[in-house]
Amino acid sequence: MVIAPDGKSLGVMNIAQALEVAHSYELDLVKVGQGATPTCKLMDYAKFRYDSIKKEKEAKKNQKIVKIKEVQLSIGIDVGDLRTKAKHAIGFIEDGDKVKVVIRMRGRQNKRPELGIKVLNDFAAMVANSVVEQAPNQEGNTLKMTLAPISKK
């Protein structure tokens, strides 16, 4: 099956005839579909390839890669230190990155994970313009929470 540059079907023909028609149009014969009868189209392949590469570059330029930054806290962190870490997290959020907040509990701290969850909730309240994407949860001796920037749609 051969398709002309204007989109009209030229019908089914063998390879030699299709190449001859492509030569008469001064275009390339490009296979665009597969199956029992492959579909071929007459087009300027160099221009087609240039346009597709240009579209890919444009799409790549418009996408934003979200990075995940990590902030480590402890259960016994003081308010001043918590504010400092919150300022760093606010900077990450303003840049459009996600923030993973981690508390590693040691020894007796493992018996009282609710203290760590309270610290994480206080931290989330301090970080403005963010949303808690993943609520505080415990994995082994680690408490984790993820903050994301508020989407601007």
Is residue 129 pLDDT above 90, yes or no? Answer: no
Mean local confidence (pLDDT), 46-71: 89
CA dist 58 and 53 (Å) reads: 9
For the residues 40-56, what does the mean pLDDT come to?
92
Going by the DSSP 8-state scheme, the letter that residue 131 receives in this structure is: E
Q: Taking 90 as the threshold, does the pLDDT of residue 34 lie above it? A: no
Residue ranges of domains in the chain: 2-60, 68-149
| DSSP string covering 26-88 | T-EEEEEE-SSS-EEEEE-HHHHHHHHHHHHHHHHHH--PPPEEEEEE-TT--HHHHHHHHHH
Pick the CATH number of 68-149 from 1.10.10.10, 3.40.50.300, 3.40.640.10, 3.30.110.10: 3.30.110.10
Protein fold of 2-60: Ubiquitin-like (UB roll) (3.10.20)
pLDDT digits (tens, 9 = 90+) for 106-118: 988 888 899 999 9
Entry pTM = 0.59
Backbone angles phi, psi at 145, to 5 degrees: -150, 145
Is it the case that residue 124 has pLDDT exceeding 80? Answer: yes
